[in-house]
Every structure is written in C-alpha cells, then in structure tokens.
Amino acid sequence: MILSRTAKESLKTALALVIAYAIALSMDWDRPYWAGFAVAFVSLSSIGQSLNKAALRMAGTLLAVPMAFLLLALFPQERWLFMLGLSLWVGFCTYMAGVAERQYFWICAGFICALICIDAGPGGVNAFDIAILRAQETGLGILVYSLVASLLWPVRSGQQLDASVQQYMAAEKAFYHATHDQLLGRASAADVQEKLEQGLQAQRQFAALLAAATADTFEVWESKQAWQAFQQQSAAVSRSLSLWRGSLAGLGEVEFRQVVPGLDQAGIKLEQRFSDIQAMLGDAAYAASLSPIELTVDREQARALPPFQQAELAAAAERWRELESGTRQLFQCVAALQGQIEAPEPPAAAPAGKRALVIDIERLGGAISVMAAMWIAYLAWIYVPDLPGGSSVVMMSAPLGMNLALMPQLPVIKMLKPLMLSVLAAGLIYIFIMPQLSTFLGLGLLLFIFTFAVTYLFAAPEQALGKAFGLVLFLAIASISNDQTYSFLVVSTNALVMPILVLILLIAEQIPRSPLPEKNFQRLLARYFRSSEALLAAIGRQATGSAPDRQYARHVYEIQTLPKKLRAWTRVMPPQLLPGGKPTAIADVVTDIEVLSLRLNDLMKADAQALPPPLIEAMAAEFRAWHQEILGIFRRLSKDPGAIDQSSFRAGLDRATVHMEDRIRQILDRPDRIRLNEEQGVDFLQLLAAYRGFAGALAEYAGSATAIDWPSWREERFA
Amino acid sequence: MNSMPHEFVLGGIYMPPLLVAALLGVVAAVATTRALNRYRLSRYFAYPPLVQLSLAVIYTVVIGTLFIKV
C-alpha cells in the first residue's frame, strides 16, 4: 500500500504524540499534555523545518522561564504591578514577533511566560516546579518528534529546495517577460502585478526551505555560504526587477523601442540567462557561457527628444543595465555553487553607521491590543465572581491575542466556530469513550487515531488554525494523567470559556483602533501621504554623512513598508465596498502606491549637488514651485485619498513639463550658456527623470483612486 | 410565583437565567446591527462598537425583565 505524503506526516505526528505521552506518564510527570502540545506545534512538512521550529520553541521557553521567575520575584503579592510587568513583557514579545525572522521564538517567550506566571499566581509558591515541568515536557515533545521524523520516512528539505529554487527562477523570468510585454502593450499592469506576487511568494518559500535545508541536509549545510551568496544576489535581482518595472510607468512604447533598437534582442538574451541559471541549478554539469549583454541607445534619436523624455529613457536604460549586471553576478554565484568556478569575492560590507530607532506603529498597535486583552481577562477574573475557567481565561488570552495581533486581517469572530467544534469533538470523546479505557494500550490507540485524523484532515496550511485548536483543546480537555478523573464540568466550563475568550478578544481588537479593513486601509494611506509629504519637504535638507534624523528615518521606513501593509488589507476588503465587488481596483491603487514609493526613492537619490550651481540657481524657481504644488497635493491626499482629479492634474503636469522644457532650452541656449560635461549631463537627466517620473506616478495613482467610492468608505458601519 | 427567577434546564444541565438572557440579547443585537448595516443606517452612529455593546446590554435587560424574569 502506498501512503500519501500527508498520511505519512500525520502518522509521524500521531506516533510521536503517543510516545511522548507514554514517557511522560511512565515518569509520572504532571500535565503530560504539555509534551503533546510541543509535538503538535513543531510537526511540519520536513525535518529541517520541524527542527528549526522546535529550536525556536525551546529557546523561547528557556527565555520565558527566567522571565517568569523575575516577574514573580519582583512583584510578590502585588497583583497590579505583577500584571503590569507581565502584560508589558507579553506586549514587548508581540512587538518583536512582528519581524518574520524568529517570530515563533518571541511568541513562545511571551505566552509561555504568561502561562507560568498565571499558573503560579502572584504568590508564586509552585512557580519553580511549573516552570521546570514546562521546560522538560517541551524538551521531551521536541526530542521525540525529532527522532520519529528522522527515523520514519525522513523528508529532507534539500529535495524540496531544488524544486523551489527552480520555481523561484522561473517566476523571476516570467516577471521580466511580463514587464517586456507591458512595454509592448501586450500585458496589463495587473498581469505584471500577478507575476510580481508569484515571484515574491516563490522567494519567501525558497528562503524558508533554504533555512530548513541548511539544518537537515548535509550537502546544503556544507555549501551554505555559497547558498547565502545566491540568496542575497537573487534578492538583489528581484529588487532590480521591481525598479525596472517601476521605471516603465512613464515610458511610451514607441520612443523606447525606437531609441533602444536592440531591446528585444537584449531581452531574449536576458531571459536565456535566467534559463541557463535554472539549468545550472538543476544539473551541476550544465555549462553555459557568460557574456555581458549590451543595451545600446541610439544617441542621435535620443537627443532629438524633449529633455524630460530623454531623462525617462536614460533612467529606464540605467535600470535595465543594473538588472543585467545583477543577473550576471547571479550566474557567477550559481557557477560557484556548482563548483564550476571559484566563488566570486563578496561585495564589501557597507560601514555600519548609526541607525535611528524606528518604531513600527502597526506592530505597536498589535502589542497594545494583546495587553488590552490580557487586562480585560485579568479584571474579569478578579471582579466577576465564579468566572468560568478563571485563570485559564487570562492564560489563553495571551497566545490567542498574540496570534491575532500578528494576523490583524483575521476577524476574531471566525475563531468561534473552530473553537466550539473542537470543544464539542473533544467533549464527546472525553465523556463517551475515555471512561471505557483502562490501559495505556487503549488510551494510546485513541490518542493515535484522534491525532492522525486531525492532522490528516487539516493538513493544508490554511487549515492550520483548525488543526491547532482541534489538538490543543482535545489534549487540554482530556487532561490525561496517571490519576485520571472525569467530570462533565471540564467540558461545560471549556464550552463557556471559548465564547468568553472570543468576547474579550472582540473588545480588545477595537483597541487601539478599528479592525475594519476599509478604516485600516484609509488610515495607512493617510500615513503614507503624510510621510511622502515630509520626505519631499526634507529633500535637500538632509546633510550627507550626518547621523540620520529619527523623524526622517521613520518616514523612510513608512514609505518602504506601508505598500506591503496596504496590500494585505486589500485581500479582506468587503465586496460591497469595491467597484463591481472585485478587488481589482483597490489592487491597482496599491500597485500605483508601490510605483510612487520607487519614484520617491529615485527623487531622494537624485543628486542635485553634482550639477553646476548656476544651473541649479537658474532652475530654482521652477523646482520650488513644483515642490510647493506637490506638497499641497500630498496634504490634500492625506485628508482625502481621492482628492485629486486625474485629468486636471495630468493637464497641469503637461503644462508644467512644457514650461520647464522651454526654460531648460532657454538656459542651455543663451549666450552665456552653462556647459555640462558628460557626467553632469547624466546627473541632470536623472534629476529630471526623477521629478517627471514622480509626478507621473502621482497622476497614475489619481486615476486608479477615482474608481473607489471613498465617501462610502468613510461611513461608519458595524463589524 | 411565576416572577421568581428560575434556572433553565437543558439535558440535565442547569443554566442561570442571566446567561440565557445575555445570549438572546447578543443575538438580538447582532440581528439589529446587521439590519442597520443593510440599510446604511449605521453611518449615523459616531462609534458603532459602543452602540453594539449598548444594544446587547439593553436587549439583555429587556429580555431578562419581560420574558425570562432574571
């Protein structure tokens, strides 16, 4: 009989759980379900992924234990200060967990500390026993699962890594192809966005598998430096691809292909390079030659164009060359990885300058929400007589609150159904089946069947919540021990605790702001425009080489991170608020915001200092007027995202462009004309391209924003 | 005697009358807010979450006083 991969993984989890229980019970340890929890949570699709998660869980537990001792020692018999300290720690862990790297470590450090502290109580009499028991049972669960996963049908991530890296490179190639098609008018911006998303997803999957494969596959571990170099370089290529795509927004198809006649040929060669990289990754013996791909610009034709178009073309060509250079280095990384050439010298690390501390407002909001949930639960525990569940309401508010804070798009109410169904299933087994069992053989069989069924039926990643609730609530309600007792109250209390918890979390999610998608989207968009306004006002004021100003650093951080946060909210937007009930229009708005970010970045980098001062002085009035106009627009957009009308803005932009081009001609043609050397000419074109590109991106945004009915988004509604 | 608070029995499980009144109150509040959303009347409230909570409390008190006798 051939078992499916899902069946094998479910069998491994079920077997590990039964063994963990058998050891814990034979050692007469209290609360063996803690070992069961460890097995349930670290079981992932490959040994490496499981080992990494297990290490994070263990390390989180080892940090949570001394932290719990510290809090209990600092605030004995001081319930308010104790809770203040505990909630601040959990809030801090929630904030830190907002970074994808080591997220699970911070989650464990936060909620396990809360479990130990609340279980021991402010008196802390049993704190030491509880903390040690928790640590040793977590260690037991992890050890057992690791052994079972290593010995039984071991799945090493190295096998999946090969497929994943191929997929990643194929996605990058498809993304480049789509940008080329967009330039020729054969693909829409939405198609390119789709390819970009696929590329990003493949990149994330590759990163996760590389980390796992480094832990469980010797060949990958042995060449981990070469893999890291490949990862860094492929990320750089992805960035170059995004920048190249961003530079296309202001280009007309005709001009670019006329002025850069070899673009199609160069594009074919670049795609072939991606194919070569794929082939080399798949077969170490595959040999391909590497030669630079030239993108020649027809200078005569380019000079005939108006200055702004010249600038746009020069910027786009520069982006393309960066992309070509990036793929060439990526090719060398792969050749080094396959042992065909010596590893190229790694680029010199940038000097680690002083970095301003930037607080992420969204992550801070999540931390405040978790702290609010814990406080509401704590006050209810103290002031509501005979609150069902008592301390367990406070204990469970921490892990559930933390997970919700990390997934703010998930409505709390959606948790109620899986929670109640899990209680029902666990309750039925606890009441009707468990009392019939008298030996570990029967109990082990029950644990095995239940665990197998849950992990098998909820194997898909999007069903992770159902799997976690099903296993955890069953193990908690069954409360298996050597002196087993049965009480209907266990089930009824749990059945009451779940709605109470959901109610607490529903209140806490309103703190510090509304959880409604459209409100969050508008709030983030307003912040984006405020930061853009601040950065634009600061251009030129930032002295080079000085320590970064904290406010400036915050605005740069916002501009870099907000488009991604906005994108996350578009996926959960209620259909009744979207034109035609489809998310296309709002996705277009976010795409334009992403392009605007790239253009703003260009503007910040454009170096006016290198140009001759007389030229800057001669153009000062035009640049100042432009700045004032755009600052005013951002101010209006931060109050109303649909404040500008695309047609009038575009007409104004065209008028300003003509005026500026006339002015440039006047300056460059007059008798005492300013002479620019080649380098200054390139700088000047880059500066013009940055201004023009930025205004063009703003006009695109204005167009896509008109599709949204913003007044109805501002209306209040019930969640 | 009819106005005396009395517990609800469901399959041998005794439930306090306030719990039943609160459950019905929440259900009635959710139904009301759905209707208010449907007819775009919710835009007239400054802070809907508080309205929802208040409605649940009002319904619980009304149901508890008139029908369940908490």
| Whole-angstrom distance, CA of residue A412 vs CA of residue A421 | 16
- Cβ contact, residue pair A716, B45, below 8 Å: yes
Per-residue pLDDT tens, chain B, 70 aa: give them.
456 667 888 777 777 888 889 989 999 999 999 999 999 999 999 999 999 999 999 999 999 999 887 7
Residue A613 is predicted with a pLDDT of 74
Per-residue pLDDT at A191 exceeds 60: yes
Chain B: residue whose CA lies nearest to A718: B48
**How far is A680 from B18, CA to CA, in rounded Å?**
80
pLDDT tens by residue, A614-634 = 777 777 787 788 888 888 888
| Cα distances (angstroms) measured from residue B38 to each of A50, A661, A713, B31 | 47, 54, 15, 11
Beta carbon pairs, A and B, within 8 Å: 29
Contact A716 B36 (CB under 8 A): no
Rounded to the nearest angstrom, the minimum Cα separation between B25 and chain A is 14
Residue predicted with more confidence, A654 or A717: A717
pLDDT tops 70 at residue A671: no
Can you give the pTM of this predicted structure? 0.85
Contact criterion met (CB < 8 Å) for B42 and A719: no
Q: Do B51 and A719 touch (CB under 8 A)?
A: no
Return the pLDDT at A543: 44
Residue A458 token pair: 């909820």
Burial class (CB in 10 A: 0-12, 13-18, 19+), A25: middle
Residues of B in contact with A713 (CB under 8 A): none
* Chain B residues with a Cβ under 8 Å from any Cβ in chain A: 13, 33-34, 36-37, 40, 42-49, 51-52
Closest listed residue to residue A371, CA positions, set A401, A347, A391, A351? A401
User: With an 8 Å Cβ cutoff, is A715 touching chain B?
Assistant: yes
Tokens of B62: 């009304």
Reported confidence tier of residue A386, pLDDT bands at 50, 70, 90: confident
Contact A717 B52 (CB under 8 A): no
Cβ separation of A716 and B33 shorter than 8 Å? Answer: no
Are A556 and A393 a contacting pair, CB within 8 Å?
A: no
CB A509 within 8 A of CB A495: no
Of A510, A514, A717, the CB nearest to B37: A717
Asked if B48 lies within 8 A of A718 by C-beta distance, the reply is: yes
